[in-house]
Amino acid sequence: MQISFNHRTLKLNIPAVMGILNVTPDSFSDGGKFIDKNKAFAHAVKMVDEGADIIDIGGESTRPGAAYVSEDEEASRVVPIVSKIAANLDVMISVDTSRPAIIKECVKEGAHIWNDIRALTEPDAVECAAKLQIPVCLMHMQGTPSTMQNNPSYKNVVEEVKNFLLQRAEICLKAGIKENNIILDPGFGFGKSVDDNYLLLKHLDVLCACPYPILSALSRKSMLGAVLNEPVASLRDNASVSGAVISVMKGAKIVRVHNVKATKDAILIASKVLNTD
């Protein structure tokens, strides 16, 4: 498996580490730390130095109750840092957005992956991705960011998430998006109870058996805090690394994380185990 776009290719024979760069004032873990463009770029440099294969840039917080962000505001946060990273760092860039207009501008500046929590369900999103031929990450979410944790309910969370993601992938294929440009994300924490999240993690191999690479994004999330009894997101890094290793052992090809160095080290060890006969 590999991802290719904008003259860059990332092979996934060793699972990739995606470093999180939130250029928002209100993200759940590090909101406000990197709203300044210089600080954002410095953090990107640090993550690349620590081994990040992808930098994932987000300009809109999707935590429950997050404030609405206009398209212009999102663009002003995201596009300049995409441009600066693309011009100066040897790394793939993904953009965490649901808006076609944002991804179009970011691709012009050098972005490589469209990471969409809404799985290209916004108007014209699928058509835009097909026209750009950009790799897309489709995420499962029950409800919307503002309502998703009110009362999530499933009969079989693993099968329902899998079926939704495969349905979205099929829609993408029919629109002209190439099969090798599709990544799936079960959406840990997005419209799921704590038990739902752990069932998904326990059975992540079911999703990994699908013909698309799986991205696991559980870094610092409340599913970890619930078990640790740790309300401070930034103090959940040890558990985040554990979750990343479990994900990779189950078959995930990309892990999205805050702590790149610790995760990269752990993933290299896990990959050595997986690839040793």
Query: What pLDDT was estimated at residue 262?
Result: 96
Query: What pLDDT was estimated at residue 80?
Result: 93
Q: Are 182 and 214 in contact (CB under 8 A)?
A: no
User: What backbone phi and psi angles, to 5 degrees, belong to 271?
Assistant: -65, -35
Query: What pLDDT was estimated at residue 24?
Result: 78
Beta-bridge mates of residue 216: 255
Q: Are 63 and 27 in contact (CB under 8 A)?
A: yes
Tell me how crowded residue 158 is: count the other CB atoms within 10 A of its CB: 17
Query: What pLDDT was estimated at residue 35?
Result: 65
Query: What pLDDT was estimated at residue 37?
Result: 83
C-alpha 152/C-alpha 161 separation (Å) is 13
In angstroms, how far apart are the furthest CA atoms of the chain?
A: 52
Catalytic residues: 221, 256
Report angle CA 201, 216, 147 to the nearest 5 degrees: 80
Query: What pLDDT was estimated at residue 229?
Result: 95
DSSP state of 179: G
Query: What pLDDT was estimated at residue 148?
Result: 53
Q: Tokens for 228?
A: 């640790």
CA–centroid distance for 154 within its chain = 23
Tell me how crowded residue 38 is: count the other CB atoms within 10 A of its CB: 10
Query: What pLDDT was estimated at residue 154?
Result: 86
C-alpha 130/C-alpha 218 separation (Å) is 28
Strand-by-strand arrangement of the 136-139 sheet: 182-185, 136-139, 113-116, 92-96, 54-58, 16-22, 254-257, 215-216
Please report, in tens digits, the pLDDT of each residue of the chain (277 residues total): 888 898 889 999 999 999 999 887 755 455 556 667 888 899 999 999 999 999 999 888 776 666 678 888 889 899 999 999 999 999 999 999 999 999 999 999 999 999 999 999 999 999 999 999 999 999 998 866 655 566 677 889 999 999 999 999 999 999 999 999 999 999 999 889 999 999 999 999 999 999 999 999 999 999 999 999 999 999 999 999 999 999 999 999 999 999 999 999 999 999 999 988 8
User: What backbone phi and psi angles, to 5 degrees, belong to 174?
Assistant: -65, -25
Domains (range + CATH), the chain:
2-272 (3.20.20.20)
Burial 115-147 (b: 16+ CB within 10 A, else e): bbbbbbeeeebbebbbebebbbbbbbbbeebee
